[in-house]
Structure 1
Amino acid sequence: MSNSKQAEATGEGAVPSLQHHHTPVSVTHHDHPDHHLMWCPRHNHYYDDRKMETFEEVPDPTELSPLRDFIAGSCAGVSSTVVGHPFDTVKVRLQMNCPSAPFKGPMDCVMQTVQKEGFWGLYKGMVSPMTTVPLVNAVVFSAYEHAKAFLLTRRLNDTSGVLTNHEAMMAGAWAGFVNSIVVTPVELVKCHLQAQGEAIHTSKNEIKFNGTLDCVKKVIQIDGVRGLWRGHVATMVREVPSYVGQFGTYELLQRVFSAQLDGDNGKVSPATTLLAGGFAGCVCWTVSYPQDVIKSRLQLQPLGQPSSYATSTFCPDGGFIACAKSIVRQEGWRGLWRGYSPCLLRAFPSNAAGFATYEMVKSVFFFDKDGVSMPVQAKAKAGQ
């Protein structure tokens, strides 16, 4: 079969014999008036070799690198945890709202904790998130990057690598759902450790934990392995909207701030990342904070005892609806926002540090894993 007939049989412009290659291939297209075409199968596009003066290594936004995402996500989690954990401890202790936690407000909680437990009392329970943060953040960012790549590959003739607002929100929802499965045991252990200390007058009958491993061991002994996932529904209801808000806001503000601060150089500055990440964190916690209060109440119930909140007859919510009703009935709607101030104070610096670290580390590992040079048109020389 001749070359022209083979081209007709496979469809206009198709080059099936070259689809397994990853490098641009020069193609003599006898049926086309322009004989200076180069076919790039990976990007499904023809390039005019007369308009290309150089080949530049340009990363493909749809390329995935699990190692890159794991390392970048882990580093981001470490930095955000170190910055934000003291605020998180105050938040959890205010959320308890019981006689054993007699705090008048965030500052009173900080003062009592430091006076009775020292400065490091604010970092109580940090071992749990710090030992599991590589996995948790790797799950979040990997799930987000996979969803992002999936959405980008569905586009035609668009290699910008920039998500629209609704695409970023969809990718964030998927990341939140996946992460809720992993983060529930981490949150449960962290909350139990944060909720005990000299500043909190626990009763003699309450179980004491001597650290992360001891807490995990006692939870499994008393409630079984499933006990580690107490409050999973509440965690999922928190995680999905939180990451919808976080990643949607981050992608949007990154474009807005970059246009104002970075000009037309095509690069995002650290200042842009810090601002976009900080405000994204504030939105993230604002849209999910009531769910977080409910989650903490459900997870801090005494071990070995039946749940105080009945599961809904309409869906297996783990007592989420009953707990929400109980809080509103006893404390009013403000009860769902208890501890919001320290949470918001934590959100900006913690998420700013996390996103800045993630982008910085990711840029180091942002290479084309196949070593493919994507043909791009060279910039015009000065004076031309």
Structure 2
Amino acid sequence: MSRMPAPAEAVVGVDGLLEVDGLVIDLPAAGGGVRVVDRVTFDIPPATTVGLIGESGSGKTMTANAVIGLLPDGAVTGGHLRWRGSPGEDLLQASPARRRRLRGHEIAMIFQDPLAALNPTQTIGRQVGEILRRAGRPRAEVRGRVLELLERAGIPEPAARMRSYPHEFSGGMRQRAMIALALAGSPALLLADEPTTALDVTVQARILRLLRSIQEEQGLAMLLVSHDLRVVAHVAHQVVVMYAGRVAERGPTGAVLAAPAHPYSRALVESVPAVRSRTALAHPLPGTPATPANRPPGCAFHPRCPLARERCRTEEPPARPVAPGRWAACHFAEELLPR
């Protein structure tokens, strides 16, 4: 992936557009339920991109699906999703009708697989237009707004391509169509779940630039879910690092990448040296990632952690403030930070 300048740090200290507070998600499994998300807490300020990073199985997508209301009934068993400030509106207490009104309008989502998310029997233009019609746009305005959205998403010759079906688009073009679809409802929050995973590196960079420019120009907040630290480093103002369903660290992206306060965050940075230096050598993470189904006692990362001590094996570290605007769930975070 070509390098992009890091985004400027967002203004901190404002009320969150969305506050995720102690979110708990339990899913049924053989032999009993599995806690796939365990007391996850972070906030998304207005006009800010927050990167949700972690290896597969860390609970990132489950967290995003909880926000937009795509989990099975009863899966969320604890916590709050406070919308538009504190106390705000708790989305977990909202009626199904209210969640449907929010979805696609105030909160929209870009999925990892646009071919599966788009309707194969309808043209791209019709699908984008349907969102506009449901939002109450006059029919006379819909076509012009569809063309405007497709053009904004970087789709060439939008007047012709709006008549195309999803299978007639390339992977990168389908992702652009998903972006146009997501923007049709004029959302305040955009959830992007691994939006560049299936694309080659050149197309990835173009999509990331597009998302970043849209976020900055329209003042959207965005939650970017990714397993790729390079993607988050290029786009996110703040980062939330997840491991085995829990938050390991959160804070401003530049500060976390420059001086991680959790051994897992540091291992992620060292495994992808390009986020800090072109010449540094990569150090792959040792061991097998823990998952919510096989989460060890104490600190979930301790079997892979070079700094682990007896306390780490028996006592789960709470997420706590370790520097201005930064939180880490490590007993010995201060030893990792510059003195």
Question: Normalising to structure 2: TM-score of the pair?
Answer: 0.26
Q: Which has the higher helix share?
A: 1
Give the number of the structure with larger relative contact order, counting CA–CA contacts within 8 Å between residues 6 or more apart. 1
Question: Normalising to structure 1: TM-score of the pair?
Answer: 0.24
Bigger Cα Rg: 1
